[in-house]
Structure 1
Amino acid sequence: MRLRVAGVIVLLYAQPLSRVVRLTIDDVIRDGDAVLLRLGEPPSPVPAPVAALLLKHITNRGNMNTATNPASRWLSPGRRTGQPLGPNHPSALLNKVGIPIAAARGAAIRQQLLELPASVVADALGYHDKTTSRLRNETGGTWSRYAPGDHARSPTGWVPRGTSEVGGPPVPRA
């Protein structure tokens, strides 16, 4: 189960295993029926089948019955007191079952960048915006003119084309 959870997080959210093993159960957020995973801000939604797997894993985490980990908050507790599982073991096991971690993670982030602006991917997945911008350019993404920020309100002094300054009749277009 632990291996499946780690593999799914790598494949869906383009996270390195070194970061996946450092996730805690506090990074899994239940909001009503929705399950979110805190990788960046805002937390990322988790699809229903993966959410069920993640929640089941939390209730049945390994290495919890040892004297060193009775109250561990790690999503994947390790054998050493207060430490998470190391990334090398799950990496080797995932490679063994046919999931090349580096290639899978690279493909996952590039797919995200084809579907969303680089700045949105950076914030949501906890990447640096320069990294996502560089990867977007390498993949030929089409979000180069996206302006990040609050798009819910107009800039001060901006007037839509074809209207007057304040409540007058529309200005004819040339």
Structure 2
Amino acid sequence: MRLRVAGVIVLLYAQPLTRAVRLTVDDVVHDGEAVPLRLGEPASPVPAPVAALLLEHLATRSNMNTATNPASRWLFPGRRTGQPLGSNHLSALLNKADIPIAAARGAAIRQQLLELPAPVLADALGYHDKTTSRLRNETGGTWSRYAPGDHTRSPAGWVPRRTGDS
């Protein structure tokens, strides 16, 4: 269950494992029917099948029965007191399950950048806007794709300011 949830967080939300292991149970916002995941602002919606998986994971998290972790708030509790699962350990487990994390995360964010403006994606997934803008440009996209119309000419009625105008 832990590997499935971690894999989904990487594949759907392009999150690095170092950030995924730092998520807490409070980052899973269960407000009635919807189950958004707080990665940035606003919280990202979680599709229904994934929401069920996430809620099941919350109810059956591993490493909770040890004397050191009975009240752990980490989404992926580790074996040491008050610490989340190590990202290197989780990466090794996912790689062993044939989930190529680095390639999958890169593909996930590039796919999302084809569908959403870079600043919007940055806010929603907790990335820096310069990072998403750089990745967007690497995928061959430009800002002109976000608004309809001919962006090669000036708008009608627009006159450039002359020096001395205020």
Query: Which amino acid in 2 is paired with 1:26?
Result: D
Deviation (angstroms), 1:145:
6.1
Q: Which residue of 2 aligns with 1:120?
A: 120
- Find the counterpart in structure 2 of residue 135 from structure 1: 135
Partner of 1:14: 14
User: How much has 1:94 moved relative to structure 2?
Assistant: 1.3
5+ unaligned residues in a row in structure 2: which ranges?
A: 148-155, 157-166
Aligned counterparts of 1:115 and 1:145: Cα–Cα separation in 2 = 10
CA contact (8 A) 1:114 1:142 kept: no
Q: Distance in 2 between the 1:54 and 1:121 partners?
A: 22
Q: 1: distance between equivalents of 2:137 and 2:45?
A: 26
TM-score, with structure 2 as normaliser: 0.85
Inter-partner Cα distance in structure 2 for 1:92 and 1:47: 27
Aligned to 2:37: 37
Alpha-carbon shift at residue 88 of structure 1 (Å): 1.0
RMSD: 1.5
Q: CA deviation at 1:108?
A: 0.3
Q: How far apart in 1 are the matches of 2:144 and 2:40?
A: 22
Q: How far is the alpha carbon of 1:72 from its aligned partner?
A: 0.5
Hey, which bits of structure 1, 4+ residues long, moved more than 2 A? 141-147
Structure 2 residue aligned with 1:50: 50
Q: Deviations over 1:17-51 (max 9, x none)?
A: 01101100000001220000000000000001100
Structure 1 equivalent of residue 91 of structure 2: 91
Aligned-partner Cα distance in 2 for 1:62–1:11? 21
Determine helix, strand or coil for the equivalent of 2:30. Answer: strand
Q: Which has the higher strand share?
A: 1
Residue correspondences, number: 148
Q: CA deviation at 1:140?
A: 1.8
- 2: CA distance, partners of 1:47 / 1:133: 26
Q: Which has the larger radius of gyration?
A: 1
Secondary structure of 1:29's aligned partner: coil
- Return the offset for 1:90: 1.5
**TM, length-normalised to structure 1:** 0.81
Question: Secondary structure of the equivalent of 1:45?
Answer: coil
Kindly indicate whether residue 70 of structure 2 is the aligned counterpart of residue 70 of structure 1.
yes
